[in-house]
Amino acid sequence: MSNANVADGKKRKGAGCLRWLGRGALGFLILLVVLVTTGAIYQAIASARDSKQYKPVDQMVNVNGTEMRLDCRGSGSPTVILEAGGQSPSFIWVRIQDEVAKFTRVCSYDRAGYGWSDSVHETLYPQQVAEMLHILLENGGEKPPYLMVGHSFGGVYIRAFTAEYPDEVVGMVLVDSSHENQNQLTPPELAQSPEYAQLKKGAVTSLQLIQIAEPIGLLRAFKFMDAGTASLSLPENEKGAVLAQMYRAGFMGAYVRETLMMMDYSGKPRKLGDLPLIVLSRKIDAQDMVEQIPSTLQSMELAQQLADIANDMQDELAALSTRSKWIVVEDSGHFIQLDKPQVVIDAIQEVFDQVAK
């Protein structure tokens, strides 16, 4: 066989391999499109089913074109406003709201993208959250004065609301609240370490992947949120509605935008004058903090620094008002309103009794 024939055979064989590779790639792309389309249809059908079963259509209020849920119960003044923490819908107040409604009017609501509220596609900073809440209350027919209650990063939101509308707020309860400057208070040996930077980078990547997975139904199909929900001290009869909200299309978009905002947010809490204030915080010691440190940097000394910083931040929050009380809640996790609801109810009642007319 001549060299020319051998070369020609090799060319034909190479072209055949390329054709098979091309067909394989095309087949993979077609399969991928089918899977994504099927997942998106599954997510849309399941979300519509959940909405029909659980969405409280009578509680929806228009806020500049965005439908937001506002749930108000009871009667009396001042009206208590319950602000959920970052990444949380209003269901975290399920053990609080009806009890508070026994002595005054009380409202919970879902920020844009959470619970049953429509999504917005921009990042909402505390001042924007405060402005949307104010419009929501106005359009929902609610009137000041307000007693503001905020959990976790919700504490930052209600302090922004109070700064923006000081004449409408007569009291405040902070429930294991975040501090505006908490990101800047991390010890330098942790904040400036490559391990910590890698941890944050990994968290951001995970959030981005989760956001991609939501609209094609992967989170719902693999029950991604079930374990976290099961770990909360929620009434059994509420868990179906809670999961419906967390698997709803748009939830993860809001979750990711808010999480990224909180990771980089910095500010300074404003003084509250003589506003009646109760600060509730869980008991934190070094053992509670050690697991938050990358394994290569873990030490009880560093963990104690973190615990001291966390406790000092709660002390600073209590010092915002000249009429404040700081209560450390034993045997509770971060969600004090679920783990120790009576403590939260009693704190709201105490501030209410100081300001009720």
Q: What is the DSSP track for 313-357? A: HHHHHHTTBSSEEEEEETT--S-HHHHSHHHHHHHHHHHHHHH--
Q: What is the pLDDT of residue 58?
A: 85
Determine if the peptide bond prior to 78 is cis (ω within 30°): yes
- In three-state secondary structure terms, 279 is strand
Q: What is the DSSP track for 47-102? A: HHHHHHHH--GGGEEEETTEEEEEEEES--SSEEEEE--TT--GGGGTTTHHHHTT
Is residue 183 within 8 A of residue 266, CB to CB? The reply is yes
Is residue 304 within 8 A of residue 327, CB to CB? The reply is no
Amino acid at 240: G
Is residue 287 within 8 A of residue 336, CB to CB? The reply is no
Q: How many Cα atoms occupy the beta-carbon half-sphere of 96 within 13 Å?
A: 35
Is residue 172 within 8 A of residue 275, CB to CB? The reply is yes
**Tens digit of each residue's pLDDT, the chain (357 residues):** 454 444 454 445 445 555 655 666 666 677 666 677 887 787 888 888 888 888 887 899 999 999 999 999 999 999 999 999 999 999 999 999 999 999 999 999 999 999 999 999 899 999 999 999 999 999 999 999 999 999 999 999 999 999 999 999 999 999 999 999 999 998 998 889 998 899 889 999 998 899 899 989 888 998 988 898 888 889 988 889 999 998 998 899 999 999 999 999 999 999 999 999 999 999 999 988 988 888 888 889 999 999 999 999 999 999 999 999 999 999 999 999 999 999 999 999 999 999 997
The enclosing H or E element of 110 equals none
Q: What is the pLDDT of residue 34?
A: 67
Q: What is the dihedral of CA 286, 288, 290, 293, to 10 degrees?
A: -120
The CATH architecture assigned to 60-355 reads 3-Layer(aba) Sandwich (3.40)
| C-alpha span between 352 and 101 (Å, rounded) | 12
Amino acid at 246: M
Determine if the peptide bond prior to 166 is cis (ω within 30°): no
Q: What's the predicted TM-score (pTM) here?
A: 0.88
| C-alpha span between 37 and 334 (Å, rounded) | 39
Domains of the chain, residue spans: 1-54, 60-355
